[in-house]
Structure 1
Amino acid sequence: MSESTTAPAPKKRDRSEKRTGPFLFYRQVVAELRKVVWPTQQQLTTYFIVVLVFVLIMMAIVSLLDLGLGKAFFTIFGGRA
């Protein structure tokens, strides 16, 4: 038999824990953004074209399925001619 594992219960926040102040939060955000590897202009253009082509193909597939299934249902269930 496999063992059943459950997720640990979330920790309750103690009143003694201090919240992060806005300035510390801003500094941490800036530090994290410096670690990001930003795409080059060529990579960005390539990614944009790939996503655009994918979305257009998916739109065509969904449109054709909608048109085909709509006509099929109207034919099957005696819709208007």
Structure 2
Amino acid sequence: MTANHGSSASGPESRRRGPFGRIALFLRQVLDELRKVVTPTGDELLKMTGVVLAFVAVMIMLVMGLDWVFGTLAGLLFGAGPA
């Protein structure tokens, strides 16, 4: 039993491909995958953009809060430096 390591061609045919044949096969596979891509509608795009912006805003607030907490703790532990 032989293992197929992700190659779409099997047997001696895959060994006969030269470098340009392998590049052509790769480009053909890329184009086949690009044909499967579905473009979102305007409404879907707007909703997804809103979700991303909301997530980014929440993460910014979380990091700002943690920065304030750790800054305050550091100030309490080590004392406030000269102003």
Is the shorter-chain TM-score for this pair beyond 0.5, marking a shared fold? yes
Runs of 4+ in 1 over 3 A off after TM superposition: none
Uncovered stretches (5+) of structure 2, i.e. residues with no partner: 6-14
Structure 1 unaligned residues grouped into runs of 5+? 1-10
Whichever structure has more helix as a proportion of its residues is 2
The count of corresponding residues between Structure 1 and Structure 2 is: 66
Structure 2 residue aligned with 1:38:
39
Overall identity of the aligned pairs, in %: 39
Change in Cα spacing, 1:80 to 1:31, as seen in structure 2 (3 Å) is same
User: TM-score, normalised to structure 2's length?
Assistant: 0.63
Map 1:56-71 → 2, pairs under 5 A: 56-71=57-72
Query: Structure 1: how far apart are the matches of 2:74 and 2:35?
Result: 55
RMSD over equivalenced CA pairs, Å: 2.1
Letter in 2 for 1:21: I
Please report the TM-score for the alignment, with normalisation by the length of structure 1: 0.65
